[in-house]
Structure 1
Amino acid sequence: MAILSPDGDYSITTMYSVPDDAWYLELDLVATRRTVVTAIVPDEDPARDPTVCFDVHGDHLDIPYAVIRWFMDLVEAEIRTSRDWMRLRPELVEVVRGLRQEHLGVISDEEFPAVLEHVRAGVPEEDLQAVLLASFGRRPDGTTTDDMEAVLPASP
């Protein structure tokens, strides 16, 4: 589903690329369906930074500043949503990354207790909730949440 800009001349389409482990946000000119800017937000590898690519093969196009700001605000929100866990301490980032790779970010109710025990053995109790939330979207009691900002570090 595309999100229309306030002036209706542009839209943003968001999609996930499994081979790239990244979210793609495309800023499109509605009248011609031309993608003019693409933001790529990797969500699995802390070593990969988000990037922005401009269409250099098309005709010159002046994009209003307000549209670019609107697009970049949505890109920033995606970065926060997809990468907040990467601001944890480096040793916790590695634990989260390993769990996400092993379990692909999803864990069944049946598997959770054994994994919780394993994580609890290697992660300080005060960091347990942040690691479980970033890895599986679960609290230590096994319940799920979408409120990652409640337990992850504040933006710098």
Structure 2
Amino acid sequence: MIRALTLSLALIATPVLAVQPDEILADPVLEARARDLSKDLRCLVCRNENIDDSNADLARDLRLLLRERLVAGDTDAEAMDYIVARYGEYVLLNPTSQGANLLLWIAGPLMLVLGGGIAFAYLRRRRQDGDAPPEALTPEEEKRLAELLAPKK
């Protein structure tokens, strides 16, 4: 009774992961490496969820493939490179900042600086235009203004 209660409390306290018992490697060091690496891989079905948390069939296939590469003797980098070569760079939750992705990494700050420059130029021009003295009224405009401001009888 106490053993069952302890087990159920232990299961409640741990985070729920999608990794099935048949996926877990016998070697705890390899399993820890697999878990660390799988947190950096995107589930291609669930989008912004890592494969360690996803229940999708494709995420399971990726977890098994990752473990297969680690058991085969690949380093962490080699295993990740293999998966990226097979599924594309989109599979990484944190894409690299080189190549075509460099444009995406730079675009946000560049747009912020560009927008700030445009706003600065607009406000500066508007302030300079506001400093110019207004043009004098023509005699016809002065007469019309006097008529409009004169009290009605």
Same-fold call, TM cutoff 0.5: no
More helix by share: 2
Band of TM-score, shorter chain: under 0.3
Greater RCO (Cα-Cα under 8 Å, separation 6 or more): 2
